[in-house]
Structure 1
Amino acid sequence: MELHYCRTGGSESPFVISHGLTDDGYCRLELARELEDEFDVVLYDARGHGRSDAPDEDYGASERAADLFGLLEELAIDDPILFGHSMGADTVTEAATRRPELPRAVILEDPVWMVDGVNNDVIEGDPGKNIEAQIAEWQDRSVEELLEAETMFRDLVESGQPDLAQRVAEARGRLRPEIARVFEAELLDPTEIYGDLEAPTLILKADADEEEREREQEITGYLPDGQLVHVDDAGHCVFWDERARATEELRTFLPTV
């Protein structure tokens, strides 16, 4: 199993970023650039994404956490801050609860919680089958065609992030259909697992109505040392939608760990 990564290097504390489904490490290049003066930032491609291998195996949180452990061991990384978005948030949570002594801190960007009161409309039908069809459609188009065809890419360009739009579109073209197996494993239940996440934890959540915010605060309460910030006007990709506010909250948190 080979994982592709890039790394800012230096003697600073390690900050390891685990991306979401259908992205790859380069989709978080802006965050790496923001932090590179203070941290040794590692961006890696999850199995089936980017330039990493796509093994004929399971793709659940347990397997992805094992990949992360292997990466940290090979790179001789100790005491990292672990950052994960969406699927990557599940990866990081699984890793941090299996080895609670490992991370110095954990940051979760809009983890998907399939529990009563939140995210109940996120996954419908047969998402594994849907993503396979979507990958085939993406790979039938050039990057230029994707940039013109999809609203998400146009929105990124209009918000002043054309380089990010380009990298995300390129990431779509490198996906392998094996990633559909992510959906064969259930998402982690925060009410069952967060009690074992000992590291200081910051959760940056998308905007939500008051009822959902209250429920998400209840879920955060399962963490021994956790805090939740809802980022106004942000969707699922909080740092892409509201980069300045999300970065401000991240920088407020980091000196405390």
Structure 2
Amino acid sequence: MTVETRLPEAWTEGFVEVEDGVRLHYARTGGDGPPLVVAHGVFDDGLCRIPLARDLADEYDVILYDARGHGQSDAPEAGYGPDDRAADLVGLLDELDLQDPILLGHSMGGDTVLATAANYPDRPRAVVAVDPAGLLGHNRENRGDDGIGEEEVEGVREQILWWHDHSKAELLEADDELAGHVEAGEEELASLLADARLRVSANITAVFRSGWADPEDHYPDVEAPTLVLRADVDEEARERDRESVALIPDGLLVHVDDAGHCIFRDQRSVATEEVRSFLADH
């Protein structure tokens, strides 16, 4: 049986209006700790990070927000490039009056927090980028093109529409990744991911057309102390990662052994400890 997750009673949720009148949904743990804003990956939404927020709620005021086109946020046709996503995040910071926040993001969200730190260097206290999409693009054989081809974009759109053609119960059986989580006893995670897939808009294919924040263009402008957690990759890819992260003036790169792209799912305790250790010094 799938476990349905509800927000703890002490947490709050709501909406803020950012650029172009777009409304973004967020959930917040509250508390007296420093604000930590979490940006999710391309097919997820904020509530997918509830397990991480639980782990950090005693130390931080964790804000989980839905990027445009995801979760309960608005889904306009445009505004999905790295600079757009950074502007949305800053709009959220402004509307919630979050001072000196820590920005943590995975994949697309990692790209978002790095673009935000580059474009608005005075805003974050610290940055944690978990397998940021810009590094993944940098490690592709065709390193001159941060986007993907139109055929691949259409494939993403068809995948989203396929999700929408199924009920949640059907997805939990028919989607290999979700079924794998259920089989592994990770029913809550499977449920959260299924909910996110049913809510994601096909308009987010514009993310892939827009591409990612180019390390050479953006990383040198990141002034905040930055931790980049990367998956376990081969030595050639690690060397490219080192070259890219070295462009961040105060950047630290950690490759997490035995972790794939979803580092917090594969090596949750190791990744959480790396984040805690880094933030203790910043």
Fold match by TM threshold 0.5: yes
Residue 6 of structure 1 pairs with residue 31 of structure 2: no
Look up the SS of the partner of 2:23 in the other structure.
coil
Contact 1:27 / 1:167 at 8 angstroms: preserved in 2? yes
Residue number among 87, 107, 125 corresponding to 2:128 in the alignment? 107
Contact 1:15 / 1:81 at 8 angstroms: preserved in 2? yes
Residue number among 215, 218, 222 corresponding to 2:243 in the alignment? 218
Look up the SS of the partner of 1:108 in the other structure.
strand
In structure 1, how many angstroms separate the alpha carbons of the residues matched to 2:37 and 2:78?
24
Contact 1:206 / 1:235 at 8 angstroms: preserved in 2? yes
User: Deviation per CA, 1:1-53, whole angstroms, max 9, x where unpaired?
Assistant: 11100000122100000001010000111110000001000000000000000
CA shift, 1:115, in A, is 7.8
Which residue in 2 is equivalent to 1:233?
258
Contact 2:148 / 2:211 at 8 angstroms: preserved in 1? no
Count of residues in Structure 1 that have an aligned counterpart in Structure 2: 257
Letter in 2 for 1:13: P
Which residue in 2 is equivalent to 1:23?
44
Residue 137 to residue 116, structure 1, CA distance change in 2 (3 Å): closer
Contact 2:42 / 2:107 at 8 angstroms: preserved in 1? yes
Letter in 1 for 2:248: L
User: Deviation per CA, 1:54-94, whole angstroms, max 9, x where unpaired?
Assistant: 12322111111111111111111010000111111121111
Look up the SS of the partner of 2:233 in the other structure.
coil
Letter in 2 for 1:149: A
1:95-244 aligned within 5 A: 95-113=116-134, 118-120=139-141, 124-126=148-150, 127-244=152-269
State the TM-score, normalized to the length of structure 1.
0.94
Residue number among 261, 272, 275 corresponding to 1:250 in the alignment? 275
Residue 119 to residue 248, structure 1, CA distance change in 2 (3 Å): farther
**Considering only aligned residues, what root-mean-square deviation do their CA atoms show, in Å?**
1.8
Contact 2:147 / 2:208 at 8 angstroms: preserved in 1? no
Which residue in 2 is equivalent to 1:42?
63
Look up the SS of the partner of 1:171 in the other structure.
helix
CA shift, 1:154, in A, is 2.8
Look up the SS of the partner of 1:59 in the other structure.
coil
Letter in 1 for 2:98: I
Contact 1:117 / 1:212 at 8 angstroms: preserved in 2? no
Residue 57 to residue 253, structure 1, CA distance change in 2 (3 Å): same
In structure 2, how many angstroms separate the alpha carbons of the residues matched to 1:57 and 1:183?
12
After TM superposition, which residue ranges in structure 1, 4 or more long, deviate above 2 angstroms? 112-117, 119-128, 154-161
Residue 158 to residue 243, structure 1, CA distance change in 2 (3 Å): farther
CA shift, 1:123, in A, is 6.6
Contact 2:148 / 2:208 at 8 angstroms: preserved in 1? no
CA shift, 1:165, in A, is 1.0
In structure 2, how many angstroms separate the alpha carbons of the residues matched to 1:115 and 1:147?
28
The worse-fitting range, judged by mean Cα deviation, of 175-184 and 26-35 is 175-184
User: Deviation per CA, 1:184-243, whole angstroms, max 9, x where unpaired?
Assistant: 212111122111101000011011012211221121111100111111111111101111
Residue 204 to residue 12, structure 1, CA distance change in 2 (3 Å): same
The worse-fitting range, judged by mean Cα deviation, of 48-57 and 117-126 is 117-126
Residue 124 to residue 66, structure 1, CA distance change in 2 (3 Å): closer
Look up the SS of the partner of 2:117 in the other structure.
helix
Look up the SS of the partner of 1:234 in the other structure.
coil
Look up the SS of the partner of 1:84 in the other structure.
strand
Look up the SS of the partner of 2:37 in the other structure.
strand
Letter in 1 for 2:133: V
Look up the SS of the partner of 1:3 in the other structure.
strand
The worse-fitting range, judged by mean Cα deviation, of 207-216 and 30-39 is 207-216
Sequence identity, in percent? 52
Letter in 2 for 1:163: E
Contact 1:113 / 1:119 at 8 angstroms: preserved in 2? no
Give unmatched runs, 5+ long, in structure 2: 1-21
Residue 231 to residue 38, structure 1, CA distance change in 2 (3 Å): same
